[in-house]
Structure 1
Amino acid sequence: MEMKMKQKINLELRNRAPEEVTELVLDNCHSVNGEIEGLNDTFKELEFLSMVNVALTSLAGLPSLSKLRKLELSDNIISGGLEVLAEKCPNLTYLNLSGNKIKDLSTVEALQNLKSLKSLDLFNCEITNLQDYRESIFELLQQITYLDGFDQEDNEAPDSEEEEDDEEDDDEEDEDEEEDEAGPPGGYEEEEEDEDEAGSDLEGEEEEVGLSYLMKEEIQDDDDDDDYVEEGGDEEEEEEEESVQGEKRKRDIEDEGEEEDD
């Protein structure tokens, strides 16, 4: 048994308040009488809503969702009443109506009031069988860039995930450019200057220590020389005294000899 849309909504809430929800996926549930039920204006922060294959025939029950950007309605039974989208979801940029019962341009004309619409998908709708279908839609809805996934030059629309990645890459590039423009933090230069100053201070101290050490050695050498001279002088004086005393003794002996001879 298929889950009813209201039950699916309660399940998707996961104990959150409706105003906290930005994305809601209700695919493959069962709508009652082909209408939306369970959605109301309290889902005011909703940006992405998907109701794929829920047997919708009417959008009359769609609440006001002013922040809604993407609306997935593929594989339903919608044949008209698209004017309600401009009234309830004025800021839509992406609308997927593929696999519905849309047959003519007058039905799509109601989307002219969706001024922010950039991408429209009508794949597998009967309207795609019209002659000059793509040219007619691009002329009718001049605000759109992509129809059924391609622009007017047949360039494929970027995937939504790729768009987000590109935006993140752009943000990272901007941050890198700002860092490059700002240059390296001043702290690096200050640290280098401090290191240079510290190095020069150390060299100065080493020079002072070296000079004082050499001067001290020279002073010690001078003292040693003086000590040597002084020691040498004392020995000479002693030798002189000894020689004087020796001569004196010799004279005394000679005098004693002369006295004995007399």
Structure 2
Amino acid sequence: MDMKARIAQELKGRTPAEVVELVVYNCRSSDGEVEGLTEDYARLEVLSVVNVGLSSLAKLPPLPRLRKLEASDNAISGGLDALAERCPALTHLNLSGNRIKELSALEALQNLKGLRSLDLYSCEVSTAADYRENVFELLPQLTYLDGYDQEDNEAPESEGDDDDDDEAGPPGDEDDEEEDEEEDEEGSEGDDGEVGLSYLMKEGIQDEEDDGDYVEEVEEEEEEEEDGDVEAAAVGGEKRKRDADDEGDDDDDDE
């Protein structure tokens, strides 16, 4: 399939003005130039034309919002002047696996003031002595070259483009988590209430048992006192009887 037909297929019922990201693969440019892409793609922000047989970007249409261009594994050797004029918002450019041999071929990128990341991996220019130092000197606006900054710190994978989406998670997750937390809290309160009620009931039963023991002790003490009184009364009666008998005996003696 040629590149023009492949781009038309990728529309999938949309108009070119509605396309923000376009990925073109499994196709070939007939003359090594960009085909099927027009200035009607004015809202395009991400374009991927990997391994489609490009040798030049000279026919790239004006894409004022394009910020990321993936053009690796082609046969591009120069002609990068069109990028600064037609893609002024470009921040990421991947030219890995192309035929860029000389550092001078990159001079046209000096006019891309917003360019932050450039990939030239597997290009012949990347084998030159002091390659990294020379490229950073030529293009001071760069932060990352082949995925690393000047201090050899690796670039973040998303570089902030998709951080919000990654952190957000599927819709409704937060609500589900909040509901689960509320249910856990309610369950915990119910458990505490049940334990508290059981504890109070247990305490009440214990109090009743203690009161019963106390009543039994009081009753036993009262019974012991009553028995003592009866015994004392009996003893007193016997004493009175003996006293009366003694008095009778005294009367007899007097007679």
For 2:35 and 2:130, locate their aligned partners in 1 and report how far apart those are by CA, in whole Å. 38
> Could you say what secondary structure the match of 1:139 adopts?
helix
Residue 111 of structure 2 is aligned with which of 110, 113, 131? 113
**1:128-178 deviation digits (Å, cap 9, x = unpaired):** 111000000001000010000000011111112x6245346899xxxxxxx
Whether the 8 Å CA contact 2:58–2:80 is kept in 1: the answer is no
TM-score (norm 1): 0.62
Matched, 1:33 2:20: no
Q: Which residue of 2 is the match for residue 43 of structure 1?
A: 41
- Output aligned runs, 1:1-262, within 5 Å: 3-160=1-158, 163-167=160-164
Question: CA offset at residue 120 of structure 1?
Answer: 0.1
Contact 2:78 2:105 in 1 (8 A): yes
Gaps of 5+ in 1: 172-262
Counterpart amino acid of residue 103 in structure 2? L
CA positional deviation for 1:38: 0.6
Counterparts of 1:30 and 1:23, CA distance in 2: 19
User: Residues 164, 86 of structure 1: CA spacing in aligned structure 2 closer, same or farther, 3 A cutoff?
Assistant: closer
**Contact map agreement 1:28 1:52 (CA 8 A) in 2:** no
1:88/1:164 CA distance change after superposition, 3 Å: closer
CA distance in 1, matches of 2:162, 2:15: 29
Partner of 1:50, secondary structure, is strand
Q: How many residues align?
A: 169
For 2:70 and 2:134, the matched residues in 1 are separated by 23
Which aligned segments of 4 or more residues in structure 1 are displaced greater than 2 angstroms?
162-171
Over the matched positions of the two proteins, sequence identity in percent amounts to 63
Distance 1:130 1:47, change over 3 A: same
Alpha-carbon distance in structure 1 between the residues aligned to 2:161 and 2:39: 28
Give the whole-Å Cα distance in 1 for the aligned partners of 2:101 and 2:167: 41
Measured in 2, the distance between the counterparts of 1:164 and 1:16 equals 24
Q: Distance in 1 between matches of 2:162 and 2:143?
A: 20
Gaps of 5+ in 2: 169-255
User: What secondary structure sits across from 2:47 in the alignment?
Assistant: strand
Deviation at 1:61? Answer: 1.2
| Residue identity opposite 2:142 in structure 1 | I
DSSP 3-state at the match of 2:160: helix
* Alpha-carbon distance in structure 2 between the residues aligned to 1:164 and 1:92: 14
How far the C-alpha of 1:58 sits from its partner, in A, is: 1.2
Which letter maps to 2:11? L
Distance in 2, matches of 1:107 and 1:156, equals: 25
Contact 1:53 1:74 in 2 (8 A): yes
Is the Cα–Cα contact under 8 Å of residues 28 and 54 in structure 1 kept in the other structure? yes
Contact 2:42 2:62 in 1 (8 A): yes
Amino acid at match of 1:71: L
How far apart in 2 are the matches of 1:169 and 1:59?
A: 33
**Retained in 2: the 8 A contact 1:79–1:102?**
yes
The alignment's TM-score, normalised by the length of structure 2, stands at 0.64
**Matched AA of 1:21:** V
Question: Matched residues in 1 for 2:114 and 2:137: separation?
Answer: 16
